[in-house]
Amino acid sequence: MRLLRRMMEIQSREGAVTDAALEGLSRELAVPLYRLEGLRSFYPVFTDTPAARPRVQVCRDIVCRMRGGADHCQRVREALADVDGAQVEEVSCIGRCDQAPAALVDETPVSGVPEALREYATGGASPPTHGSVTADGPWPTDPYPEADRHYATLARYLRRDDPKTARDEVVTALKDSGLRGLGGAAFPTGAKWDFTRRAAGEPKYVVCNADESEPGTFKDRDLLSALPHLLIEAMVLGGWVIGAHHGIIYLRHEYHPEGEVLQQAIDAAYRRGVLGDDCLGSGFAFELEIFLSPGGYILGEETALLEALEDRRGEPRNKPPFPTNVGLWDRPTLMNNVETFTAVPTILARGTQWWAAEGRGEHKGLKYVCVSGDVARPGVYCIPWGSSVAEVLERAGGMADGRALKAFSPGGASTNFLPARLAETPVDFDALAEAGSAMGTAALVLIGEGRDMLELGLSQARFFRNESCGKCVPCRIGTEKAVEIVEQGGNGGDTQALLQRLDRTLAKTSICGLGQVALGPLMSVFRQFPDEPAVRALNGETEADHE
């Protein structure tokens, strides 16, 4: 991790990783210049010349597009046209969808209309501080009423007289809870911990994927700053269970404010003896650090993330083998996302029966959901598993501006759009799959009447085109071709059929999940909203065809 960390330090200090800086680093570390250039050209954080100031980076993706308008970035440019040195650019989602339209001004997260962004950029106003609180109350998954009780669950297990039995109990509890990966993959958590524990090879590692970068997704951002003690506790527990002594939190670079809170919590945990060479006096050693991502949505894919940690371009690996057996530095690696990890101490502290009772019917547990779009109160909501989309919408204050619900995307940019008539569908892996979509990252984007569904589907396709790492041809070329077809008004009467063939090709031949789902949301518009004027026009249909 020394190469990317050094390059991040240079970028932060000098505003760019210039050719001269790259050559100096090459000589200092005895690393070939081509390798460093390969890193600089891959990761979006790095620039070869210092950016102008003020630098305003405007989110271009679905929620900010809905809230700010398709011409939002252009209007920001116009608002700053007379500001000397101002640089305005469009960027992919920055994880502030609850504050849409969102932007970064010299790396500081802000939101608002163009005139407000001008004030922030010129120093006429200070950006408001957005606290990390749930949209409708306290954090119900925190089992500790007072801060001095933090890490009590970890202490209880570390001090057990029979460590093997205690470790078995942790794995059994996670299996019984039904907890699955909450970053999108939905793999059973207890099984993953068990597989990594049994995997041969030393040393082992624990990695937290805190790189949520999918449009509509921001729940982990709030969990990082509100419940960092649960993340730290879970990672130490994970290390203790599998036999790892080193943990890494891979944090997306736009989460600077949350990263500061997290680092303070880690420092406090070291002072308290929770981390270090003798965790809570147990003799077990565990070190924990933050690795700041150099950017890119693809880094949310677990093997691409591992490549970055190994100072390579973040391109996904072929699987198998899986990280549980061959992960960081080819060693067994336990990896979960923030929400999954933070659920572990809750389940162990309160018990699997309590966890099961929190769900609805056959569903177990609690789930954090990001709510954004045409909704009255966007934010993070903690709901019982099995709550319906309609119930979540009600919790969020209903639709904004008197709109009626037209459609929703239940789980982020990778999940298919569903029509309003399916709003009674439970927020659950299986139920949403049966409805024709997926849980994904639980990023619920609510869409009101009057929205152009084809335009929104195209927005999602553009995101994946922009964020494709380029490693495999189907994804690199296929996403670009699909966007081009739609933007150019179709391909005659067979546009839908052509896009369907392209979608199947990407799904079957792309290396990772990005390419496999990239066209799914766009194709769902054709299936679910065939009578949209824009869809009919793209297929070469006329009004006479529907008379």
Provide the pLDDT for residue 494: 83
Provide the pLDDT for residue 272: 97
Q: Which residues of the chain have pLDDT under 70?
A: 1, 129-137, 542-547
Please name every residue paired with 384 in a beta bridge, in sequence order, or none if there are none: 366
DSSP 8-state symbol, 41? H
Structure tokens at 425: 């569908």
Provide the pLDDT for residue 542: 63
The packing angle between helices 520-528 and 453-467, to 10°, is: 170
Provide the pLDDT for residue 544: 53
Find, among 453, 437, 354, 347, the residue nearest to 389 by Cα: 437
| 291, HSE (Cβ side, Cα atoms, 13 Å) | 27
- 265 contacts 179 by C-beta, under 8 angstroms: no
Provide the pLDDT for residue 547: 52
pLDDT tens figures, 339-393: 999 999 999 999 999 999 999 999 999 999 999 999 999 999 999 999 999 999 9
- 170 contacts 334 by C-beta, under 8 angstroms: no
Please name every residue paired with 134 in a beta bridge, in sequence order, or none if there are none: 137
Please name every residue paired with 370 in a beta bridge, in sequence order, or none if there are none: 380, 443
Give the Cα separation of 344 and 156 in Å (integer). Answer: 14
Provide the pLDDT for residue 271: 98
CA distances from 227 to 223, 255, 287 (A): 5, 15, 19
Provide the pLDDT for residue 132: 52
Provide the pLDDT for residue 486: 95
Q: Which amino acid is at 14?
A: E
Give the Cα separation of 274 and 260 in Å (integer). Answer: 19
Please name every residue paired with 380 in a beta bridge, in sequence order, or none if there are none: 370
- Give residue for tokens 């927020």: 427
Backbone angles phi, psi at 208, to 5 degrees: -100, 125
Helical H runs in 102-207?
A: 114-122, 152-158, 163-177, 189-198
CA dihedral 254, 257, 262, 267 (to 10 degrees): 120
- 57 contacts 117 by C-beta, under 8 angstroms: no
Provide the pLDDT for residue 90: 96
Helical H runs in 43-111?
A: 62-68, 72-79
Find, among 64, 49, 57, 58, the residue nearest to 18 by Cα: 49
